[in-house]
Chain A
Amino acid sequence: TQLLEQSPQFLSIQEGENLTVYCNSSSVFSSLQWYRQEPGEGPVLLVTVVTGGEVKKLKRLTFQFGDARKDSSLHITAAQPGDTGLYLCAGGLGNKLVFGAGTILRVKS
């Protein structure tokens, strides 16, 4: 059982559509990070959220940390083919980072 449940596992959408990826847990995290990974490479950090209720925007990406610091969401507006990749959420727990299983996003042109 994953400590951090990500949904959906797969998402295939057309260019221009909006989408949301969810990351849920019963545990409270000190921080929540989102990473993006492309084939053949390691994950690269997109954002870190630390405060419950925090919202951060990165161009067309909006990240939210739940009030209770147990869940997070990633919303992409007007998805583009360049957004294709594996999106991973990761929660800070003690001295460790716990990862979700990931969401594979494919944006078709």
Chain B
Amino acid sequence: EAQVTQNPRYLITVTGKKLTVTCSQNMNHEYMSWYRQDPGLGLRQIYYSMNVEVTDKGDVPEGYKVSRKEKRNFPLILESPSPNQTSLYFCASSLSGVGGSTYEQYFGPGTRLTVT
């Protein structure tokens, strides 16, 4: 089954404790992306990757890191989480990101993160 998986689905942590949210897709997609979703603000892009070893900042990259060492995996790293990073996070992948993202984005089920 074609899918994007994220782990964990729920995470409660404390300020400053480094964490990683994993994302994996099995569709051989080139483009992967991380979004955060907050009430009234919709989905905001954190980072995206056009292909292996190619990553770029989205609209809200501060406080986050990513890496793309393999095509299927795109982990999101919070080196020192803060309460303002409490949010619902989605990983997504698509065939390509070139050309204004006309390709369908496939989203994972989301990770609800709470930083106290």
Chain A interface residues (CB < 8 Å from chain B)? 2, 4, 6, 9, 29-31, 33, 35, 40-45, 48, 50, 88, 90, 92-102
Contact = CB atoms under 8 A, between A and B. Distances in A.
Interface string B32-56: 0101000011111100101000001
Interface in B76-116: 90, 92, 97-102, 104-105, 107-110
B98 A95 contact: yes
A42 B92 contact: yes
A29 B100 contact: yes
A36 B29 CA distance: 22
B61 interface: no
A100 B42 contact: yes
Interface residues of B, number: 28
Given A96-B45, A99-B44, A41 B100 contact: no
Contacts of A9: 40
Contacts of A41: 109-110
Given A42-B90, A99-B42, A99-B44, A30 B99 contact: yes
Given A41-B110, A95-B56, A96-B58, A2 B101 contact: no
